[in-house]
Amino acid sequence: MIVVSGTNYFGVVDRVPGLYYVATRFFHVGYMPIMPLESYLIFTWPGQTGRRGRRIPLSPKSVLVGWVRGACGMALWLTVVCSLLILLAMDRHHMHASDGRWLLLRIGAVFAVSGAVLAMTIVFNKASPRRAAELRKYLEPPKQSAYDRLTTKDKWVLELEEQLTGNPDPSPQSQHPAGREGAGEPPGTAGRAG
């Protein structure tokens, strides 16, 4: 028997048609979502090939829907298998017909409820206007401070000045003056001739 496991995306929710939806990457066994790993805003722009998205904070709604859909799918599969086994047992006279009918009615009820819940999670997965606005902020590039935009060398110089002067303020006013002796040189080499 072969058991498939790995990671895949489940729990598609908050769909904005033609733009994006939220899905959670789960560790799965036999395509039954077990452990949520991370949620993504998956883009569905026209003409796009492949799956592209941006990581977002773990979505509890997506995790719950992933588990519910997995459980409903498993319940649907098990009800079909159990129904076939009961029909086979009734056909071979290993089970009384009235007992088999009651079991089939109960299994049919589980099948109907699981199917209805699964259908509702698929039909009602559109994002509300408020949720769509919340998700839209992940489409914008993150805002960077002036300190984050500096090059690595500039950051090294600011950190060195902070250590030398004791000034912990990395604001533009506290940056080193251009032409200061030793600025940009490794520690201990200021003023030395090559």
Per-residue model confidence as pLDDT tens digits over 101-124: 888 889 999 999 999 999 999 888
* Three-state SS letters, the chain: CCCCEEEEEEEEEEEECCCEEEEEEEEEECCEEEEEEEEEEEECCCCCCCCEEEEECCCHHHHHHHHHHHHHHHHHHHHHHHHHHHHHHHHCCCCCHHHHHHHHHHHHHHHHHHHHHHHHHHHCCECCHHHHHHHHHHHCCCCCCHHHHCCHHHHHHHHHHHHHHCCCCCCHHHCCCCCCCCCCCCCCCCCCCC
Q: How many domains does the chain have?
A: 2
Instruction: Look at residue 174 in the predicted model and tell me its pLDDT.
Output: 47
Average of per-residue pLDDT across 2-20? 90
Instruction: Look at residue 155 in the predicted model and tell me its pLDDT.
Output: 61
- Kindly state whether residues 98 and 35 are assigned to the same domain: yes
Q: In whole angstroms, what is the distance from residue 33 CA to residue 12 CA? A: 13
Residue 192 lies in a domain: no
- Kindly state whether residues 104 and 152 are assigned to the same domain: no
* Domain C-terminal end among 138, 154, 172: 138
How many CB atoms neighbour CB 180 within 10 A? 11
- Kindly state whether residues 15 and 73 are assigned to the same domain: yes
- Kindly state whether residues 88 and 133 are assigned to the same domain: yes
- Kindly state whether residues 38 and 75 are assigned to the same domain: yes
pLDDT digits (tens, 9 = 90+) for 116-165: 999 999 888 899 999 988 898 888 665 656 555 556 556 656 666 666 66
Residue 27 lies in a domain: yes
- Kindly state whether residues 70 and 165 are assigned to the same domain: no
Residue 191 lies in a domain: no
Against a cut of 0.75, is the pTM above it? Answer: no
Instruction: Look at residue 74 in the predicted model and tell me its pLDDT.
Output: 92
Query: Is the pLDDT assigned to residue 182 strictly greater than 50?
Result: no
- Kindly state whether residues 151 and 110 are assigned to the same domain: no
- Kindly state whether residues 40 and 63 are assigned to the same domain: yes
Residue 190 lies in a domain: no
Residue 62 lies in a domain: yes
Structural domain containing residue 96: 5-138
Residue 116 lies in a domain: yes
pLDDT digits (tens, 9 = 90+) for 43-101: 887 777 777 889 999 999 999 999 999 999 999 999 999 889 888 888 887 777 778 88
- Kindly state whether residues 168 and 79 are assigned to the same domain: no
Residue 194 lies in a domain: no
Q: In whole angstroms, what is the distance from residue 142 CA to residue 123 CA? A: 33
- Kindly state whether residues 73 and 156 are assigned to the same domain: no
Instruction: Look at residue 183 in the predicted model and tell me its pLDDT.
Output: 47
> Between 155 and 177, where is the model more confident?
155
- Kindly state whether residues 11 and 62 are assigned to the same domain: yes
Residue 162 lies in a domain: yes
- Kindly state whether residues 124 and 43 are assigned to the same domain: yes
Q: In whole angstroms, what is the distance from residue 20 CA to residue 139 CA? A: 10
